Amino acid sequence: MNLTTYIRDIQDFPKPGIIFKDITPLLGNPVAVDECLQLLLKNLEGQKIDKVVGAESRGFFFATLLARELGAGFVPVRKPGKLPYDTLSATYALEYGTDTLEVHTDAIKPGERVIIHDDVLATGGTAKALCELVERLGGEIVQCNFLMELSFLHGRDKLAPYEVYAPLVY
């Protein structure tokens, strides 16, 4: 199955000059969703995973599916003020300005083996902030896992020394 046919390019979104990779058509096709899930799982064969961290909001789609299939817990990481319990936060640089992510302080226990999942690896800022939060809670990062990677933005470089996997690379 050619999964790239289910990724729609949206010109000038969210601002001029950006080509947004829209996964909505993929999410609307259960066969394509299952194919993606199987590719992500195949790369994790033989790994013991305790938690799957999903980045708000598109990272939640496959992170919850991965957690279910791996028999692991799901950990949502959200924008500030969205989680109801005590949180840790990490701020990271964007092209223009900064953004912040938060996780519950009890979401990951020391020594737990963690997968980080988001829909797209672009510049790597979000994923690096996720890694920081997991490590501050004592988790061990097994892999940074994405549905797709925009390789021309070199986000993978920011994530060294972590293992990075994405079945679709642009």
> Which residues, other chains included, contact 6 with Cβ-Cβ below 8 Å and sequence gap of 6+?
23, 25, 26, 29, 32
Active site residue 95: yes
Residues facing 117 on adjacent strands: 54, 145
Active site residue 58: yes
Catalytic residue among 58, 102, 112, 149: 58
Catalytic residue among 45, 56, 69, 95: 95
Each as own residue / partner, the long-range contacts of residues 43-50 (CB below 8 Å, 24 or more positions apart, any chain) are 43/143, 43/145, 43/165, 43/167, 44/70, 44/115, 44/142, 44/143, 44/145, 47/113, 47/142, 47/143, 48/113, 49/113, 49/114, 49/115, 49/142, 50/109, 50/112, 50/113, 50/114
Q: How far apart are CA 101 and CA 138, in angstroms?
A: 17
Q: How far apart are CA 138 and CA 156, in angstroms?
A: 22
Helix axes 59-70, 30-42, angle to 10 degrees: 60
Q: Which active-site residues does the annotation give? A: 58, 95
